[in-house]
């Protein structure tokens, strides 16, 4: 199974910065939509990662 190098790098960086991201999301003075922004970025990144693949590769 092929693991995309960029995806592996993003996962590694996310694990490193997870405490800071969690503190940013859990801050009581934040906007209500802040967790949804994070999920939107994840969905966009997944789409961008898969858009360049041919249907035969999947």
* C-beta atoms surrounding 57 within 10 Å: 8
Q: How confident is the model at residue 54 (pLDDT cuts 50, 70, 90)?
A: low
pLDDT per residue as tens digits for the range 24-49 = 777 767 677 777 888 898 889 888 87
Note the pLDDT of residue 30. 63
Note the pLDDT of residue 38. 80
Q: In the chain, what percentage of residues exceed pLDDT 90?
A: 2
Identify which of 43, 51, 55, 49 has the alpha carbon closest to the alpha carbon of residue 3: 49
Note the pLDDT of residue 5. 82
Distances 23 to 18, 39, 53 between C-alpha atoms, Å: 9, 16, 35
- pTM reported for the whole predicted model: 0.51
For the record, the structure tokens of 27 come out as 């801050």
């Amino acid at each position: 199974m092929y693991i995309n190098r960029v995806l592996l790098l993003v996962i590694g960086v996310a694990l490193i910065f997870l405490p800071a991201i969690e503190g940013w999301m859990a801050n009581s003075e934040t906007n209500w939509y802040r967790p949804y922004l994070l999920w939107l970025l994840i969905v966009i990144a997944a789409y961008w990662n898969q858009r360049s693949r041919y249907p035969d590769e999947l």
